[in-house]
Homo-oligomer: A and B are copies of this chain.
Amino acid sequence: MCRDCGCSSQPEDHSDVLLARNDHQAQHNRHHFDHSHTLCINLMGAPGCGKTRMLERMAPELEGLLVVEGDLSGELDAQRMRRVGIPAIQIQTGQACHLDAHMVHEALHQLDDTPRLLIVENVGNLACPADFDLGEHLRVVAVSVTEGDTKPEKYPAIFAGADAVVLTKLDLLPHVRFSVESFWHRVKALNPSAHTFEIGADQDIAPLATWIKNNIT
């Protein structure tokens, strides 16, 4: 449950107050990133869609990368990042199903230097992360072909707000029912300007890494 609410507002404006507090902190985070010339990316997707694997594969190509990992519990993803030479900070959210701007701000206070590139891997969830601005410059949403091609219709907000959508695990396509064409048609109906990428064991990850690098100022 979203336990990050510390407001004492009236019922009708509860959600708005919570989001306003988050947005205020997110603006602060973004000013901080801009001042330090850090590109911040919010990487979102369902549990097991391949977010961490994507970061492992891009690690050799993304110089100056630091990763913030969001999970309810454990340190597994931060450990995976460190094993491929990427410094990582693990946020444990407890029961919260998403990261918020305050959690990211606290994580930044653990840093001595500001990185050139900060990728925040959000809690695995296609719903709530869409509502919480972390102060990022870009939003990337990952979906695997094993999840089915109708996910944009079921979780429209996260797709509508994405700067890039990455379809993952293309190597499993022969073994699942998934229409790549229908999936992209649904994505484009919600978000015609989203950049799109397809990755898998047999696909080069360089186009995604290059797009990220080209966004670093």
Contacts and interface: CB of A to CB of B under 8 A. Distances in A.
Interface of A: 1-3, 5-11, 14-15, 18-19, 46-48, 71-74, 76, 95-98, 123-128, 131-132, 144, 146-148, 150-151, 153-157, 169, 171-172, 175-176
Contacts of A128: 1-2, 95, 97, 128
A207 to B, nearest CB: 23
A51 B123 CA distance: 21
Contact of A175 (B6, B46, B175): B175
12 contacts: A1-B98, A1-B128, A8-B11, A72-B127, A73-B154, A73-B155, A73-B156, A95-B128, A95-B131, A97-B125, A146-B169, A175-B175
A137 to B, nearest CB: 22
Contacts of A175: 171-172, 175
Contacts of A5: 11, 14-15
A74 B48 CA distance: 23
A10 B11 contact: no
A169 to B, nearest CB: 7
Contacts of A124: 46, 126, 154
Contact of A155 (B47, B147, B150): B47
